[in-house]
Each structure stands twice: as structure tokens, then as C-alpha cells.
Amino acid sequence: MIRLVKASRSYGTPPVTALDSVSLEIGRGEFIAITGPSGSGKSTLLNLLGGLDHPSSGEVVVDGVHLERADDRELTLYRRLKLGIVFQFFNLLPSMSVVENVELPLLLRGDDARESRAKALEMLDQVGMARRSSHFPHQLSGGEMQRAAIARGLVHGPSLLLADEPTGNLDSANASQVLEVIAKIASRRTATVIMVTHSDSVAALADRRIRMKDGRVAHDTP
Ligand SMILES: Nc1ncnc2c1ncn2[C@@H]1O[C@H](COP(=O)(O)OP(=O)(O)O)[C@@H](O)[C@H]1O
Ligand SMILES: [Mg+2]
């Protein structure tokens, strides 16, 4: 479902190579952990897969969509329909309640408001957040915010969930709850899950570990 062919990304002048000719194939439903030191290109790789950034050269193909050639309109559609993203800093909208945050991806693609609300509540239940649905983000712990962000990332049934250090800003109790949720989702094999993590014990939960170094794949271990 995902194919990178010699994908490179460099920034600035003189150019800094963030991603250096990476070729990869990732199958549907795989649960991948990406590890590697700071600055090794992990976020750059995720940004390319999320259509948030274009490669300087090479191909990035997800579900048959060539992201390297997609224009802004196609990338917006790709993100709305196929993709869920979870960031390190949650990125919930502070003026909206939890359930309003979670139903947003459905409303953006034009779904019926009542059905969207019902689906959002069902998704919140799956991440153990049903009782927090009418709270606002500032009333939640970090782990609760992240579980709400995961519900928002999955509510529209994406084929790909990208998570960039989703537990990087959490204490260990909250981190383990969030990981449990991600591992449960990954085990259903309905979405391909690609998670960046600094933790080897977290990476051990995945089917496959890809270790980045200097913008390249240093190890790829099933
Ligand atoms: N927008 C940018 N502008 C300039 N340099 C960048 C930008 N994004 C990333 N880089 C550089 O690319 C390299 C890889 O960054 P990144 O993918 O964020 O690494 P990681 O997520 O593994 O810590 C780093 O040297 C970083 O400084
Ligand atoms: Mg990063």
C-alpha cells in the first residue's frame, strides 16, 4: 500500500539532506515502528507520507496516489479521506469540546451531523474516553488529550495512521494507556499504523522496526 522509491528531501542552501534516497515497501495493515536518533529523518519521512511535504526527488505512493506529483487539492482530499495523523503535542482545537474535535474530520468531508456525532462518540468509547466527550481539551490530562487525538485520527476510517512520537510528551502511566490504544488499533489490521518512537520497548510492540540514521534506513527488522 505504501511505496517509496529513492525518496529524498533536502532543505535550505547549502542543502541539508533530511532524507537520503529511501526506498521502502509497507503492506496494508502492517504496524511499523520508526526509531533512530534525533535529526535522522523520522519526521521528514512521516511528513512525506502524510502529504504535508513533497520529496525533493523520488516517489512516494500511498494507495496508488503519487504524492510527489499531487497538487494541493489532491493532497487535501488524500488527507481527509485516507489519512489519520497523531502528533506529539495533541493538536486538539482548544475552543471545541472533545466530541466536537473528534467529529470534525467527518463534518469536513461532508457527513451528516447526527451520524458524525454518533460515530465520534463510538470512537471515543473505543479509546476509553466516553465519559470525557463534553469536556474541553484544557480539562484533560495529556494522556486523555492524546487518546482524544487518536479518536479524531481514526474516526473517518483512514487506511493509514501516522503517529509522530505520540507518547513523547506524556508521563509513563499516560504513555502506556496511549500505547495500549495504538496497539489495539494496529492489531485489528484495518489501518496501516506507522509510529515514530524513541523507546525500544515501545518499538517492540510493532510487527516491524525501521531504524533511521542520517536520513537513511539503517535497519529494517521484522
Ligand atoms: N523545515 C526544515 N528546514 C530545515 N531543515 C530541516 C527542516 N525539517 C527538518 N530539517 C532537518 O532535517 C534533518 C532531519 O529532521 P527530522 O526529520 O525532523 O528528524 P527526526 O524527526 O528524526 O528528529 C535534521 O537535520 C533537521 O534539522
Ligand atoms: Mg521528529
Q: Which ligand is nearest to the CA of 39?
A: 1
Which triple of cell numbers denotes residue 50?
502524510
How is domain 2-221 classified at the CATH fold level? Rossmann fold (3.40.50)
User: What does the buried/exposed string (b/e) look like for 27-42 if buried means 16 or more CB atoms within 10 Å of the residue's CB?
Assistant: eebbbbbbbbeeebbb
The predicted pLDDT at position 198 comes to 87
Helices 142-154, 98-108: axis angle to 10 degrees equals 20
pLDDT band of residue 169 (cuts 50, 70, 90) is: confident
The predicted pLDDT at position 200 comes to 82
- CA–centroid distance, 82 to ligand 1, in Å, is 25
Q: Which residues surround ligand 2, an ion (CB under 5 A)?
A: 42-43
| CA dihedral sign, ordered 93, 96, 97, 101 | negative
Ordered alpha helix ranges (H), the chain: 42-49, 72-82, 98-108, 113-126, 142-154, 172-187, 200-203
DSSP state, 90?
Answer: -
Q: pLDDT, tens digit, for every residue of 187-210?
A: 999 999 999 998 888 888 899 999
133 and 121 Cβ atoms separated by less than 8 Å: yes
pTM: 0.94
